[in-house]
Amino acid sequence: MRKTYHISLSSTEDELLFRNDADLVHGFNCLATAILETDSRLLADGILTTHLHSLVQSDNPKELITHARYALARFFNAKYCRKGMWGERNPFILEVDGFHHLLAALNYVNRQALHHGLSPTPFGYRHCSANAFFRKLLGKEEQRSLLPADQRYKYLSSRTSIPEQYRMDDSGMLLREDILEIAHVESLYGTPRNFIYQMNKIGDEKGQQEQRTEKSSSPLITLELIEQRTPDNDIEQLLRNESGKHNPNHISDLELCALIDESFLPRMTKTTTCPSVYQLPFSRRVALFDYLRNNLWKEQKKFATEAQLRRCLGLGYQ
């Protein structure tokens, strides 16, 4: 019998799991493939540069995340000419039991972009499940270009076989609507109005009190619990972000990686087969860290934290 689990996989210190949009697309494809291979069910997901969250129903959550992590490690290491362990050794797996506990976990996973300051609403970020629910009733059934089935191999591992009923858009990403348990999750929220309310409400004591009324073996599902092992888990800052006060002057990891990979790397490395920060000697990455720390605002009118600079330059890897 499948049970419900929250699974989180985070990067190791001063590294990223994903450097660009294509990496994030591949991240979802690997998660979706692992869901299918293990006969599991996906309720929600949020994939960020430093970590991914998923809420799943599975007989074996450890096997599920092992499948996904192995495929992602092979992809990332090959793409960036990197070796060794990718991501934390032991992902965070938590059984979630009880309706209010489950609803709280769904909200936190769907609201990843909001909490991490990537968007002033959960709906402004592509790489999460928030936009997959109540699509018709919320006016989100826009037409998308789909890849023919015989072209999907370009975006999937050679060891992967996906049934034809699972569609893929022209960016190479499997459609979340085909992978997620849409009907089940929508039944948990009840109505699109309640879904919108849940996506926009500020975390409060009432939600925790509702969890306390349940006879559940799960601990209280809180932001502190969900984010406890993720990088930059400053809970006070995450809660400030929850109010939707997005700072456009704060550069995102994706923007910073694009600046490093597309502007600086071509001038700093002679290799053409695998231009990557991992091909730069550690001392040169440190020098680039110092340069960006001192000049990013002057040149880009954007600011980055030192933690961002360190992880985008892979300073945790030597």
Exposed/middle/buried for 197, CB within 10 Å: 0-12, 13-18, 19+? exposed
pLDDT reported for residue 143:
77
In a domain, 248, yes or no: no
Q: How far apart are CA 249 and CA 75, in angstroms?
A: 32
pLDDT reported for residue 234:
86
Residue 17 sits at the vertex; the CA angle it makes with 270 and 131, to the nearest 5 degrees, is 125
Residue that terminates a domain, selected from 183, 211, 242: 242
Does residue 108 sit in the same domain as residue 214?
yes
Does residue 158 sit in the same domain as residue 262?
no
Q: What are phi and psi of 235, to 5 degrees?
A: -60, -40
Does residue 149 sit in the same domain as residue 85?
yes
The series of mean pLDDT values per 10 residues for the chain, 318 residues long, is 95 95 96 96 98 97 96 94 92 96 96 91 94 93 84 82 88 95 98 95 82 92 91 85 80 96 86 81 95 94 94 94
pTM for the full model?
Answer: 0.94
pLDDT reported for residue 316:
93
CB-CB contact of 221 with 212 (8 Å): no
CATH number for the domain spanning 93: value is 3.30.70.1290
Residue that terminates a domain, selected from 184, 207, 242: 242
Tokens (6 digits) for 143: 């037409």
pLDDT reported for residue 271:
64
Number of domains in the chain: 2
Does residue 91 sit in the same domain as residue 221?
yes
Q: How far apart are CA 130 and CA 214, in angstroms?
A: 26
Beta-ladder partners of 304: none
pLDDT reported for residue 161:
78
Tokens (6 digits) for 26: 């591949």
Does residue 223 sit in the same domain as residue 257?
no
Does residue 180 sit in the same domain as residue 277?
no
In a domain, 317, yes or no: no
DSSP 116-181: TTS-SSGGG-SSBGGGGSSTTTTT------B--GGGGGGGS-TT----TTS-BBTTSPBPHHHHB-
Residue that terminates a domain, selected from 242, 273, 295: 242
pLDDT reported for residue 273:
72
Domain that holds residue 229: 3-242
